[in-house]
Structure 1
């Protein structure tokens, strides 16, 4: 709310995100283990890796969802899809209490979506950061949910990573908002808002279902690699089109 009223600077936003990530760590919401798909080996991180990795994950998800909120209904719909898949995953692991949290988040997003879908009557504003924080925290609460989050939100995550690298290369401000995000580029190519948002919904849901239906971790890694390669190829193609002389 403070950002919506007073237009908080990116530096202040990042500081607030860092502090809220520390709150998650204080309540033991941490990324402390990773399973290597190829070797099928569980790695438990030491504290000096766990804490920075958790901060990076939470801040990354906050900004991913925040930057995703560029078209009507995009962020709310994608987070609703991710939350439903989180709940299904927790239910399958018989973590029934844990499943209630993503279900509550999905219900909130779905209740908001009719007012936020194009043409929007209500806008999310800084609330997208809260959604990103919720997704980051929920993805840590049960095993393998981080992999699910990576697949569901793979397209916006790769988009954000690409933009940060490109802006650094061009000596721009990585935290600055702009129309160089993938959803804006698709919209500028001639797709309507509903078509662009629907395309995001379809791919996020499809790859999220893969995370649930594919039990083998190696094949999940392949799916994640394919998703990343497709997104990077699209971003590269769009960037080449922008660089051509008119």
Structure 2
């Protein structure tokens, strides 16, 4: 079977599982009373099931297992993966499961911020040990620099844990985290294939199918939320694909690409943390300082706010396509820039 067909099947299988499983998960959540109640920081006005991450995880896992069982875990030359590469693939998959379970426990029972961070750091450390590791960084005036293990470990843990929480932090409006993650996953799929990393691209394809399929029930007005389980799973998986699919390529552009593709949640989380510290507030205390809160305060509607952030995510993703050296990548970047410019103009008109 052609390699690209495996990726198409992974996307379709994951989306199909999510479309079928989400109504079932919602029904179970309503019967069990596992709902997110309205509150001061909440945009929704009625109790909402917040277990949608279960269906996203199931869709991604089922798709990967089907492709793996059919022999689809191959390298760019069509050969079965050698053990180190396969360990890294399963490191991302099983690490995603662990992050999903941490978030699910938080959804069901509530966990303290420090206990969540401790468990996330432990899982990320194990993922680093099996090959999900950042081995190179671009250092100003020095270029691409190889990292010793004692530096690689904390950098990798910070990246994996940070991205999981960044996706969770932007999960404040209907369809926002799912759409941003789906767009980022599609971009990572395309770039990973261009970088001849088809195995990593399979994870991206499965995640993209699950995230975009979930939008059927999560876009405004949402019928179900993904919860911390879904957000942590998607954030860790995106970060893991960035490591094994892009950062492993020893070029300055490749090392830079994951951070560019995920720039929107990274910058949002960074700005909020800096603002909280500047005002003497704990970084772990939730508030309304996120980008989507600020756009809502400017007068944008719920849907326009989400669509504008989608456009931002697509724009930085198109820049990644251009920086990767992909043919027509610059054309995509120009097109996305035009789209973002029009969207920004429309936003200004709505805020007047």
Please classify the TM superposition score into its range, dividing by the shorter chain length.
0.7 to 0.9
Report the CA distance between 1:78 and its aligned residue.
0.6
CA 202–46 in structure 1, closer or farther in 2 if over 3 Å, else same: same
Question: 1:59 is matched with which residue: 144, 161, 179?
Answer: 161
Say if 2:280 is the partner of 1:171: yes
Q: Which residue of 2 aligns with 1:22?
A: 125
Given that 1:151 and 1:204 are in contact with CA atoms closer than 8 Å, whether structure 2 keeps it comes out as no
Match of 2:311 in 1: 202
- Alpha-carbon RMSD: 2.0
Flag the 1:204–1:11 CA change in 2: closer, same or farther, 3 A. same
Instruction: Name 1:76's counterpart in structure 2.
Output: 178
State whether structure 2 residue 235 is matched by structure 1 residue 132.
yes
Partners in 1 of 2:285 and 2:234 — Cα distance? 20
Structure 1 residues 38 and 198 mapped into 2: Cα distance closer, same or farther (>3 Å)? farther
In 2: Cα distance, 1:38 partner to 1:211 partner: 22
Task: Answer whether contact 1:151 1:208 (CA < 8 A) is retained.
Answer: yes
Q: Report whether the alignment pairs 1:34 with 2:128.
A: no
C-alpha displacement at 1:37, in angstroms? 7.8
Deviations 1:202-229 (A, max 9, x none): 111111111112347xxx9xx9xxxxxx
Check 1:214–1:22 CA distance in 2 against 1; reply closer, same or farther (3 A cut). Answer: closer
1: CA distance, partners of 2:255 / 2:214: 25
Deviations 1:52-102 (A, max 9, x none): 100111111011100010011011111111111111011112222221110
Which residue of structure 2 aligns with residue 13 of structure 1? Answer: 116
- Flag the structure with larger Rg: 2
| 1:48 and 2:157 correspond | no
C-alpha separation between the residues in 1 aligned to 2:272 and 2:135?
28
Q: State which of 86, 93, 100 in structure 1 corresponds to 2:195.
A: 93
Unaligned runs of 5+ in 2: 1-103, 248-253, 334-352
Secondary structure of the residue that 2:144 maps to in structure 1?
strand
Aligned residues, how many? 217
Shift of the 146–60 alpha-carbon distance from structure 1 to 2, 3 Å rule, reads farther
Instruction: Give the TM-score taking structure 1 as reference length.
Output: 0.82
